[in-house]
Amino acid sequence: MFDASVNHGTGRAAKFLQRAVGSNMDGSIGPLTLANVGFVEHSEIINRMAIYRDAFYRSLGTFDTFGKGWIRRNDKTRETALQLITEPK
């Protein structure tokens, strides 16, 4: 969420999360969105958000110029997030 908020703005990042957990996509994370987060596997949320971010990047007119770096960052963010939730504590 943090990386998406920095790169896409907090409203769009919130909508990505809401879409990933099946909430109303109003761009404001509240108790209903947070409750839905508890019902979806965190790895699934991470993977879905990465897919949505990838699609958003590819929709931008400047993708040909900056896309390789954006996709690499998105892939690395997904990989790191998945490691954080699967590593023993």
Q: Specify the number of domains making up the chain.
A: 1
Q: Is the pLDDT of residue 76 over 80?
A: yes
- State the residue range of the domain holding 51: 2-86
The pLDDT assigned to 54 comes to 98
- CA 82/CA 68 separation, integer angstroms: 21
The pLDDT assigned to 23 comes to 97
The CATH number that applies at residue 66 is 1.20.141.10
Among the ranges given (6-10, 21-25, 63-67, 85-89), the one the predictor scored with the smallest mean pLDDT: 85-89
For the stretch 18-73, pLDDT in tens is: 999 999 999 999 999 999 999 999 999 999 999 999 999 999 999 999 999 999 99
Instruction: Give the pair of three-digit tokens for residue 63.
Output: 């993708």
